[in-house]
Structure 1
């Protein structure tokens, strides 16, 4: 699991600042057999770049536009699932919960929760369809300032039913044990590099650049890998917070989400 963007709110209201408008968390999901193939898939991408042929650290932000498109198109051909949750931080500035989300790691934990709700249910359904039982192991990309022991405590708090309000969805605890959380550096685990690819590609579809424009080409290349229920990726493999009906979106962002919706209607992709 990896992230793109930041949790900052301090100068967000001032418009074009160093703080991102969106925070995205994403995961690359594979079964045990395919997990062993990920380093080869990463190397396949890196070997196609002349300047990076001997490197083993794929980082989305270090690629130029053409390399990003190629990397995304290559990974789209592999048996990897993707789940990304993207939060429009601008909407939180006027929310009653602003002071809560200003607390360190709170937004990060909340988005992690939303993502795990979707991933665990997908894993269980897939395992049951194949006559087996799912077990999920999570590897986080090490992030400065994140306390992963607190993350485990947060998950255990939910698992033990200590929340005051029962959530609409919940993590499937038959699939996930909070103890099965690992943290590794981005440059030593190929799976985290692929998670970065998914997360950053979707983040770019929402985050405005210095000219106020977003870029959805990368996310479109990877759209076939998003988790789906009955062909629908929205709110499963791709979730935006708040929902579309409450989220101020640019014309480009709306067009991208409509494109995702239309893929279901047309029956495109796995």
Structure 2
């Protein structure tokens, strides 16, 4: 019998390259993160309960059923992450350091609409499908199936995304990737798109993705906040007991990504 999984996908940051934000200024994010919360089919039905458990901690928000990480204060963010760290879910985030693209040959490619986003989703699905396959194998179940739900983004053409993945699935790429999406686990037809407000899974994906990127994206004062992600440490996907390049993947990789002392310390602690 197939072992089914659901992944809910959201992003933190934006795709723009016009003016990357510096401390004390306005502009576009220096990082774009695309992340997912992964659950088994049997646990998917608990997502609304987990979301409601978070909301119950905030008396002024109890009439709401729509969590947005950016609207939570620091203490509420910590509380939300503390709830989720106890739940049977997996976290996977791909984070692109946009600063490194500015002087690269790929800049004009990634400035095209949706290119950087689709590229990060590809890396995300490579890791999610591998995790589903391995979990099904360890549990002695049949083949794994992955269903992916995206939080609806203005200006994103999801049929273009499906076409992109079908192109890869059919082996039409000129250069073969180092990793590959496991097409036995994921079918591009199994992409769904929902509004953030109607899916608890998407709200939880927003929390874990934004929590992760808070440790990388400097705020208006130039500071990063690693506490949220570190509280979720046990929930990140791992490969050979390591989170880096599995539960959290940096593009470019850590050796070639210019990181501040604080960002570096966050990555080291998360991967310890």
Structure 1 stretches of 4+ with a deviation exceeding 6 A read none
Match of 1:197 among 207, 228, 237: 207
1:235 matched to 2:215? The reply is: no
What is the aligned partner in structure 2 of residue 113 from structure 1?
122
Deviation at 1:66, TM superposition (A): 0.2
**Structure 2 alignment gaps of length 5 or more:** 1-8
The alpha-carbon distance between structure 1 residues 36 and 243, as it changes in their structure 2 partners (threshold 3 A), is same
**Matched length:** 262
Deviation at 1:14, TM superposition (A): 7.5
1:90 matched to 2:96? The reply is: no
1:226–1:237 contact (8 Å) kept in structure 2: yes
Question: Which stretch has the larger CA shift, 14-23 or 157-166?
Answer: 14-23
What is the aligned partner in structure 2 of residue 6 from structure 1?
14
SS at match of 2:155: coil
Deviations, residues 142-175 of structure 1 (Å, cap 9, x unaligned): 0001000000000001101111101000000000
Deviations, residues 174-220 of structure 1 (Å, cap 9, x unaligned): 00000000000000000000000110001111001111111111111
CA distance in 2, matches of 1:39, 1:172: 29
Deviation at 1:13, TM superposition (A): 8.1
What is the aligned partner in structure 2 of residue 144 from structure 1?
154
1:13–1:93 contact (8 Å) kept in structure 2: no
Match of 1:174 among 165, 184, 191: 184
What is the aligned partner in structure 1 of residue 6 from structure 2?
none
> TM-score if structure 1 supplies the norm length?
0.95
Match of 2:34 among 13, 20, 25: 25
> TM-score if structure 2 supplies the norm length?
0.94
What is the aligned partner in structure 2 of residue 102 from structure 1?
111
1:13–1:90 contact (8 Å) kept in structure 2: no
Match of 1:159 among 156, 169, 190: 169
Match of 1:51 among 60, 63, 67: 60
CA distance in 2, matches of 1:13, 1:67: 25
What is the aligned partner in structure 1 of residue 76 from structure 2?
67
CA RMSD between the two structures? 1.1
Deviation at 1:222, TM superposition (A): 1.1
What is the aligned partner in structure 1 of residue 234 from structure 2?
224
1:248 matched to 2:258? The reply is: yes
Deviation at 1:78, TM superposition (A): 0.3
